[in-house]
Amino acid sequence: MSDSDMNAHADRLTGTSLRALAEAGEARSQALILRAAGLELDATKQRLDQGALSALFDFAHARGLECKRDALLSGEIVNATEGRPALHMAYRHGGHLADSDAAGLVARTQAQTRAFAERVRSGEFAPSGVAIERVVNIGIGGSDLGPRLVADALADHADGGPELRFVASLDPSDLKHAIAGANPAAILFIVASKSFSTQETLMSGEAAREWLAGHVGADRAGAHFAAASAAPDKAEAFGIDPALVFDFPDWVGGRYSVWSAVGLALEIGLGPDVFQAFRDGARAMDEHFATAPLERNMPVLKGLIDVWNRVGLGYPARCVAAYSARLGKLADYFQQLEMESLGKSVTVDGKPGPTPGGALVWGGNGTEIQHSFFQWLHQGGDIVPVDFIGIRRHFASPDPRERALAANMAAQGAALLDGRQVDPASEPELAAHKSMPGGRPSATLLMDDLAPATLGALIALHEHKVFVESVLYEINPFDQWGVELGKVLTKGILDGDISGYDASTKALLARTGLTAD
Ligand code: F6P
């Protein structure tokens, strides 16, 4: 499918009623409803017919999606600008990896984190003579969002492990809140940082150590620290006991790192078996992605739909609405995964991109967001497709609140699809205000239940669908050069070296009197 093909299909379908499309028959529904790894994707509310769909699959074939997927999964260098493979899947596959060096490394670090997690959970690891009651993960971006999402989502599976807290912000109140009420002798800090050079993480880590030294003594404080990093030498230089530095290779991207030692807090808090079940669910999705024909492949279908909405129909954003209080961090997690991966308009070859890259991703929890920004989705001037993420079990739950939650989710999809036309004859003053255009696409993703394996599959689905999009956009989804400049400029400000800065920033700094420590 060339851009003009995509435009032709989009022009043809833009005027079509979404309801008519949704009622187009069994063959369309079969093509747009897929099941894999405990998940069901229902894309029947998308502005797509079989003509456009098969053109999208032709496009994927023409872009060499299958070869590129195989290159990714077999550990070829797919991150060209950093000269690395992207082998985070290795952490879900243990010894099944083709590359024996990678397999050995993964097996070694998985054995180490499991053994340490068991020591902490059993109380054997007690650096100040008492068992660890609270684990505080200090990290940001991929070293925070994954562990935070999974800790929240699987909190019901924790089974007596230490409490998990998270510090990401440089605002001192974040650390203050994470340690409030804790017994300093029973706390473990995990400094999670792939680079071990991230300012926020290192400054918070130092502040945590200072606080702890004031309670358990400077000589003992260090024993309450572990690290997860791809730069173990830097973690050791920071003062962390080498035996408690859990490393991972640089071919695990930050936003793909929850499966690696970055998941250490989860392995401790939820237990190694729950953490393994989470990885196993991702592995089931990996196997599906690797083997299912493109037309029956869930990450491929989802990726193509998101490309279609972004490029074909020109929708700039996508909303993620999770109908589970436990999935409150899902939209944040997907936001980093997708926007750091696809927020680029330069091709792999360094040319201006043929597309503007991936969509803006944002969202929150249903039903709360129905009472905040859904008004905008229903009647605002922009069309933003919504991904509804729900729990299949809720639909037939004996608890009426769970059934109501599911009903709300289904109702929102129906309302966006159909809208409502109020007859001006019956309500002359308010008909225009009460009418809703409808024709707004959505997808429904059902998890059989909110279990470790289905959560793993859900995350892996999104990792792979991001990869599919990147192939169609012709961009490298594994680098993130766009975040570098701000870091350099922050350093300049703190070093007092701002001669090359713009007049507005200089004036701001002069007015406010920021100085380095
Ligand atoms: O600034 C963005 C980023 O580089 C992310 O890609 C990464 O997840 C985050 O910072 C944290 O990096 P690190 O794990 O190296 O501290």
Is the pLDDT at 389 greater than 90? The verdict is: yes
Residues 164/329, Cβ–Cβ less than 8 Å = no
Question: How much distance in Å is there from the Cα of 199 to the middle of ligand 1?
Answer: 10
Model pLDDT, residue 214 = 96
Cα 304 to Cα 53: distance, rounded to the nearest angstrom:
9
- Per the domain annotation, does 80 fall within a domain? no
Residues 13/52, Cβ–Cβ less than 8 Å = yes
- Per the domain annotation, does 440 fall within a domain? yes
Q: Are residues 316 and 459 in the same domain?
A: yes
Is the pLDDT at 95 greater than 60? The verdict is: no
Model pLDDT, residue 412 = 98
Instruction: Compute the average pLDDT of residues 394-400.
Output: 97
Q: Are residues 229 and 314 in the same domain?
A: no
| Selection from 54, 50, 1 nearest residue 21 by Cα | 50
Helix (H, G, I), strand (E, B) or coil at 339: helix
Model pLDDT, residue 5 = 80
Which ligand 1 atom is at minimum distance from the Cα of 262? 14
Q: Are residues 295 and 391 in the same domain?
A: yes
- Last residue of some domain: 240, 270, 300? 270
- Last residue of some domain: 241, 270, 299? 270
Q: Which residues are catalytic?
A: 340, 371, 487
Domain membership of residue 504 as a residue range: 482-512
Pocket of ligand 1 (CB under 6 A): 140-143, 193-195, 198, 201, 254-255, 340, 480, 483
Q: Are residues 297 and 403 in the same domain?
A: yes
Count how many domains the chain has. 3
- Per the domain annotation, does 275 fall within a domain? no
pTM for this predicted structure: 0.96
Q: Which pLDDT band holds residue 97 (cuts at 50, 70, 90)?
A: low
Model pLDDT, residue 162 = 97
What is the dihedral sign for C-alpha 433, 438, 441, 445?
positive
Q: Are residues 143 and 35 in the same domain?
A: no
Q: Are residues 192 and 234 in the same domain?
A: yes
Q: Are residues 255 and 170 in the same domain?
A: yes
Can you count the helices (H) and strands (E) in the chain? 23, 11
End-to-end alpha carbon distance in the chain: 57
- Per the domain annotation, does 326 fall within a domain? yes
Cα 362 to Cα 321: distance, rounded to the nearest angstrom:
9
Q: Are residues 54 and 113 in the same domain?
A: no
Instruction: Report the chain's mean pLDDT, rounded to a whole number.
Output: 95
Q: Are residues 227 and 104 in the same domain?
A: yes
Cα 306 to Cα 332: distance, rounded to the nearest angstrom:
18
Q: Judge residue 266's burial from the number of C-beta atoms within 10 Å of its C-beta, 0-12 exposed, 13-18 middle, 19 or more buried.
A: buried
Which ligand 1 atom is at minimum distance from the Cα of 195? 15
Q: Are residues 218 and 361 in the same domain?
A: no
Residues 59/3, Cβ–Cβ less than 8 Å = no
Q: Which pLDDT band holds residue 515 (cuts at 50, 70, 90)?
A: low
- Per the domain annotation, does 352 fall within a domain? yes
Model pLDDT, residue 513 = 84
Helix (H, G, I), strand (E, B) or coil at 134: strand
Tell the residue nearest (CA) to atom 1 of ligand 1.
483
Cα 303 to Cα 313: distance, rounded to the nearest angstrom:
14
Which ligand 1 atom is at minimum distance from the Cα of 257? 8
Instruction: Compute the average pLDDT of residues 434-450.
Output: 97
- Per the domain annotation, does 63 fall within a domain? yes
Is the pLDDT at 85 greater than 70? The verdict is: yes
Q: Are residues 119 and 254 in the same domain?
A: yes
Question: How much distance in Å is there from the Cα of 201 to the middle of ligand 1?
Answer: 10
Question: How much distance in Å is there from the Cα of 483 to the middle of ligand 1?
Answer: 9
According to the 3-state scheme, what is the secondary structure of 170-219? CCHHHHHHHHCCCCHHHEEEEEECCCCCCHHHHHHHHHHHHHHHHHHCHH
State CA 145 to chain mean position distance.
Answer: 7
Instruction: Compute the average pLDDT of residues 53-68.
Output: 95
Instruction: Compute the average pLDDT of residues 479-504.
Output: 92
- Per the domain annotation, does 131 fall within a domain? yes
Cα 260 to Cα 70: distance, rounded to the nearest angstrom:
22
| Selection from 202, 243, 233 nearest residue 113 by Cα | 243
Is the pLDDT at 294 greater than 60? The verdict is: yes
Model pLDDT, residue 159 = 82
Q: Which pLDDT band holds residue 307 (cuts at 50, 70, 90)?
A: very high
Is the pLDDT at 276 greater than 80? The verdict is: yes
Cα 501 to Cα 347: distance, rounded to the nearest angstrom:
29
The residue that leads in pLDDT, 146 or 497, is 146
Convert the pLDDT of each residue in 351-381 to its tens digit: 988 888 999 999 999 999 999 999 999 999 9
- DSSP bridge partners of 445: 41, 389
- Per the domain annotation, does 281 fall within a domain? no
Q: Are residues 315 and 457 in the same domain?
A: yes
Convert the pLDDT of each residue in 162-192 to its tens digit: 999 999 999 999 999 999 999 999 999 999 9
Give the least confident one: 100-109, 201-210, 288-297: 100-109
Tell the residue nearest (CA) to atom 16 of ligand 1.
193
Question: How much distance in Å is there from the Cα of 288 to the middle of ligand 1?
Answer: 29
* CATH number of the domain within which 323 lies: 3.40.50.10490
Is the pLDDT at 485 greater than 70? The verdict is: yes
